[in-house]
Amino acid sequence: MRKTVRALVLAGLMAATAVVAAAGPAQADTTICEQYGSTTIQGRYVVQNNRWGTSATQCINVTSTGFRLTQQQGSAPTNGAPLSYPSVFLGCHYTNCSPGSNLPMQVSRIRSASSSISYTYVGGTYNASYDIWLDPTPKTNGVNQMEIMIWFNRQGSIQPIGSAVGNTTIGGRSWQVWRGSNGANNVISYVAPSPITSWSFNVMDFVNDVRNRGAITTSWYLTSIQAGFEPWNGGVGLAVNNFSASVSG
pLDDT of residue 45: 98
pLDDT of residue 21: 37
- Average pLDDT value over all residues in the chain: 91
Q: With 50 as the cut, is the pLDDT of residue 108 above it?
A: yes
Q: With 60 as the cut, is the pLDDT of residue 88 above it?
A: yes
First to last CA, the chain: 27
Give residue 28's pLDDT band: very low, low, confident or very high (50, 70, 90). low
Q: Give me the mean pLDDT over the 121-140 stretch.
A: 97
Q: With 60 as the cut, is the pLDDT of residue 4 above it?
A: no
Please list the residues that pair with 106 across neighbouring strands.
221
pTM of the entire predicted model: 0.89
Q: Give me the mean pLDDT over the 133-150 stretch.
A: 97
**Residues 234-245: tens digit of each pLDDT:** 999 999 999 999
**Count of all residues that appear for the chain in the document:** 249
Residue in 106, 83, 110, 114 with CA at minimum distance from that of residue 238: 83
Q: With 50 as the cut, is the pLDDT of residue 179 above it?
A: yes
Please list the residues that pair with 92 across neighbouring strands.
97
Give residue 8's pLDDT band: very low, low, confident or very high (50, 70, 90). very low
Q: With 80 as the cut, is the pLDDT of residue 10 above it?
A: no
Q: With 80 as the cut, is the pLDDT of residue 22 above it?
A: no
Q: Give me the mean pLDDT over the 37-59 stretch.
A: 97
What is the residue type of 185? N
Among 16-20, 190-194, 232-236, which stretch is predicted with the lowest mean pLDDT? 16-20
Q: How far apart are CA 79 and CA 92, in angstroms?
A: 29
Q: How far apart are CA 168 and CA 160, in angstroms?
A: 16
pLDDT of residue 29: 81
pLDDT of residue 15: 33
Which H, E and C letters describe the chain, residue by residue?
Answer: CCCCCCCHHHHHHHHHCCCCCCCCECCCCEEECCCCCEEEECCCEEEECCCCCCCCCEEEEECCCCEEEEEECCECCCCCCCCCCCEEEEEEECCEECCCCCCCEEHHHCCEEEEEEEEECCCEEEEEEEEEEEECCCCCCCCCCEEEEEEEEEECCCCCCCEEEEEEEECCEEEEEEEEECCCCEEEEEECCCCCCEEEEEHHHHHHHHHHCCCCCCCCEEEEEEEEEEEEEECCCCEEEEEEEEEEC
Among 24-28, 152-156, 178-182, 229-233, which stretch is predicted with the lowest mean pLDDT? 24-28
Give residue 66's pLDDT band: very low, low, confident or very high (50, 70, 90). very high
Domains of the chain: 31-248 (2.60.120.180)
Which residues are known to be catalytic? 147, 230
